[in-house]
Amino acid sequence: MHTFFRRRRIMDIQNVLVPVDFSPASQFAVDFAVSFARKFRARLTLLHVVEPTTALAYAFPIENDEVGKNNSEEALGRLSAMLSPEDQDDLDLQIRIRSGKIEAEVRAAIEAEAASIVVMGTHHHRLLKRLLVGSMTEDVLRKLPVPILTVSTDAQPRSLSRILFATDLTESSHDGFTFALDLARKLGAQLIVLHVIEPIPMSLGAGMPVIDSRAERKLLIENARRKLAELESEGARENVVVVSEVIEGIAPEKILEAAAESDSGLIVLTIHSKGFVERALLGSTAERVVRVSDAPVVSFPVHFKLDRVENTEQHRVSLPDPSAMP
């Protein structure tokens, strides 16, 4: 393994990875990823994983190799067909075929291709294991080490001139704000920062503050506005217009309403250390938004603040001796 981490600017999209299973959802993901990669002048990598048939592999290893080769050749042609000739000519494009278990190969591809973000297609009202490929488990989704951008098959085309970042204002969520701020700066977009105070406990995993009394409500709102004002100032220093709002209600509903009312082309959410699906089982705000949003959603893992240094030769860097760091 040649993965290294160092503290630096969080936003550095250089390679957009799209795992593809040739479903309508993955075509949506490819279409969005094409425009996304263009905006960042990033490399676009399309990945298809050919899964081996275990029983066939043991009984007929030679035949299985031939089947795998044929499947890979077919997949290569189908991946190319997902892009227009113009896109293939203009983009910095890579097409990768890997063989093995999907979970392991997607993670390996993130490592090998130095992926900055993974774009996936989603089906509304389905379990998370249906995000892209039916055999991709929830476990790998919550463990992916980079941000995941999900695009629904029901997505409505929207301009990326406005980005909505929903925050619980915890210390760890600031990394997600930095990501969203950098994203807005590079896209020349306005950043809308939303904080929702929930009136009743939704579940153990809701993650948003709960109002217990009128006095506590007032303190929560005042504290939230103070923190949001600091984020607006931080945005001004980066020449990004940051507009913040504190509202009361059920967090997933209010986030989706705010995104629709502001015509935001992208929603950014922070996924905390418990993990995407662990929190989903407890009623995660993020999971609920991803499940029904008709705008693309970026799920930003908190641990991504220790940004991965690309291990390709052109991006290789030398790290200082940790023992010598203050």
Please indicate, yes or no, whether residues 198 and 78 belong to a single structural domain of this protein. no
Predicted pLDDT at 65: 52
For residues 104 and 122, state if they share a domain: yes
Q: Are 286 and 90 in contact (CB under 8 A)?
A: no
CA dist 178 and 232 (Å) reads 12
Q: Is 48 within 8 Å of 38 (Cβ atoms)? A: no
Distance CA 231, CA 214 (A): 26
For residue 110, give the amino acid letter: I
Quick one: which H or E segment has residue 33? helix 24-40
DSSP-derived pairing of the beta strands 307-309 and 4-6: antiparallel
Cα 75 vs. chain centroid, distance in angstroms?
25
What are the phi and psi torsion angles at 66 (to 5°)? Answer: -65, -40
More confident of the two residues 221 and 1: 221
CB 81 within 8 A of CB 20: no
How many domains does the chain contain in total? 2
CA distance 114 to 148: 14
Do residue 51 and residue 107 come from a single domain? yes
Is pLDDT at 59 greater than 50 in this prediction? no
263 is a domain residue: yes
Coil/strand/helix, residue 283: coil
pLDDT tens track for 28-56: 899 999 999 999 999 999 999 988 764 44
Gap between the Cα atoms of 94 and 92, Å rounded:
7
Which residues lie closer than 8 Å to 273 by C-beta, 6 or more apart?
Answer: 172, 302, 303
Considering the domain boundaries, does residue 309 fall inside one?
Answer: no
Do 209 and 142 share a structural domain? no
Q: Could you give the strand order of the β-sheet that contains 162-166, starting from the edge strand earlier in sequence?
A: 93-99, 43-50, 15-19, 117-122, 148-152, 297-301, 266-271, 162-166, 190-197, 242-248
Using CA atoms, how far residue 161 sits from 15, 115, 164, in Å, is 22, 24, 10
In this structure, what token pair is assigned to residue 42?
Answer: 């990033």
Q: Is residue 203 part of a domain?
A: yes
Full residue range of the structural domain in which residue 236 is found = 162-295
In a domain, 181, yes or no: yes
Q: Are residues 146 and 284 in the same domain?
A: no
In a domain, 54, yes or no: yes
201-205, 261-265, 292-296: segment of lowest average pLDDT: 201-205
To 5 degrees, how large is the angle CA 146–CA 71–CA 23? 55
Task: Tell me how far apart the alpha carbons of residues 224 and 219 are, in angstroms, rounded to a whole number.
Answer: 8
- Per residue in 84-133, pLDDT (tens digit) is 887 777 889 999 999 888 888 988 999 999 999 999 887 654 434 444 44
More confident residue, 174 or 138: 174
For residue 1, pLDDT beyond 90: no
- The count of other CB atoms within 10 Å of the CB of residue 33 is 27
Largest Cα–Cα distance of the chain, in whole Å? 73
In a domain, 240, yes or no: yes
Distance CA 88, CA 83 (A): 6
Residue 67 and residue 282: Cα distance in Å, rounded? Answer: 42
Specify the CATH number for the domain of residue 179. Answer: 3.40.50.620
What value does the mean pLDDT take over residues 232-247?
Answer: 96
Q: Are 130 and 184 in a shared domain?
A: no
pLDDT at position 240 is 96
CA distance 120 to 150: 5
